[in-house]
Amino acid sequence: MRTSVTVTVAPHGERSRRLLVPVGLPTPHQMPAGFEVTGGSVALTGESTTGQMAALITPAGGEPVEVRYSYLERGPGYPDAIFVPRLNRYTQAAKELVSDAIAIAEAQADGHAAIQALVNAAAEKFRYAHPDVRFNEGCDEVPYLSCGLTEGSCVDINTYLIASLRAAGYEAGYLTGYFFPREKNGCCVDGHCWVATRHDGVVLEWDIAHHLKMGTREICCGLNPKPGDRVAVAHSMGLAFPELGIACEKLINEPAWVSGDGRLEKAEVTIRREIVGKAAAA
């Protein structure tokens, strides 16, 4: 089976702008098999903290740019690089969060139970939403959420979860990509993120946000509690692209316009998926 994802980017008002686009990465479920661009010229640029490569696209004119990913079914697993802790303001837990995470983990029978407990604890902190101001906005560390429910998107929830897991000493990776709900017939409107943990050689995947969207805080490991399909395009937070003057960017996922002062600006995109070979799995 081959999965094809096409991301169409509307033109920017400034003709000189370039697009930064992740090129995809392997997972246990998929292997990148192709990356093509029409409507612009492509060069590769390196991310200095993780070793990832990304495409830097110069649009050919005032026409849309099309980015096409192709994936084969099943892959070799997640790259080891996703599990390497890199401390920055998106991953470093505040002192109170470190203490809380360690206390939760130490109360469990083993490491696998501790990871599940930390996932459950993160889920109890959030109500799924897209707030105008994120819970860690302007913070140099990921703050501890002591009580009540905080509004948060998948990005917010997984920021908190990654900081908690790593504070307690567990390997955890942050993945970005696209999720295509079954009911949308191969369409989605933006990116998605999830978390993978690795303990004693066992890799588990977690998607708290989708559980919360479905009205449950009983979080189980595994992807797609909400039926659909997903692909991964990049990983980790606090990314740097020295060639572009970009330092400690939260993440890369959807194509983004690069400004002259090293900032990334959201692009207007249309995202479609096609599965060739057999019907999509749940």
In this structure, the answer to whether residues 165 and 175 fall within a common structural domain is: yes
**147, 87: one domain:** yes
pLDDT at 262: 86
**Same domain as 224, residue 188:** yes
| 257 inside domain | yes
Same domain? For 116 and 57 the reply is no
Q: Which pLDDT does position 261 carry in this prediction?
A: 87
**Residues 31 and 167 both lie in one domain:** no
189 lies in the same domain as 101? yes
Give residue 278's pLDDT.
60
123 lies in a domain? yes
* pLDDT computed for residue 282 by the predictor: 37
pLDDT at 168: 98
Reported as a single tens digit per residue, the pLDDT across 210-238 is: 999 999 999 999 998 889 999 999 999 99
- Up-side HSE of residue 71: CA atoms within 13 Å toward CB? 28
pLDDT in tens, 231-266: 999 999 999 999 999 999 999 999 999 998 889 999
Whether 281 maps to a domain, the answer reads no
| CA 33 to each of CA 70, 72, 86, 223: distance values in angstroms, whole numbers, following the listed order | 5, 6, 28, 22
In a domain, 23, yes or no: yes
CATH code, domain carrying 126:
3.10.620.30
* 204 and 114 co-located in one domain: yes
Same domain, 117 and 190: yes
| Statement to judge: residues 246 and 222 lie in one domain | no
pLDDT at 280: 43
Which residues in the chain show pLDDT less than 70?
Answer: 278-282
Residue with tokens 């933006």: 190
* One domain, residues 41 and 88: no
Are 153 and 210 contained in the same domain? Answer: yes
Query: Count of domains in the chain?
Result: 2
Are 64 and 137 members of one domain? no
User: Domain for residue 282, yes or no?
Assistant: no
Domain ranges, residue 267: 2-79+232-276
DSSP code string of the chain:
-EEEEEEEEPPPSSTT-EEEEE-----SSEEEEEEEEESEEEEEEE-TTT--EEEEEEE-SSSPEEEEEEEEES-S---GGGGS---STTTPBPHHHHHHHHHHHHTSSSHHHHHHHHHHHHHTTEEE---SS-TTTT-SSB----SS-EEE-HHHHHHHHHHHHHHTT-EEEEEEEEEEEGGGTSEESS-EEEEEEEETTEEEEE-HHHHHHTT-----SSS-SSSEEEEEEEE-SSEEEGGGTEEEES---S-EEEPTTS-EEEPPEEEEEEEESSPPP-
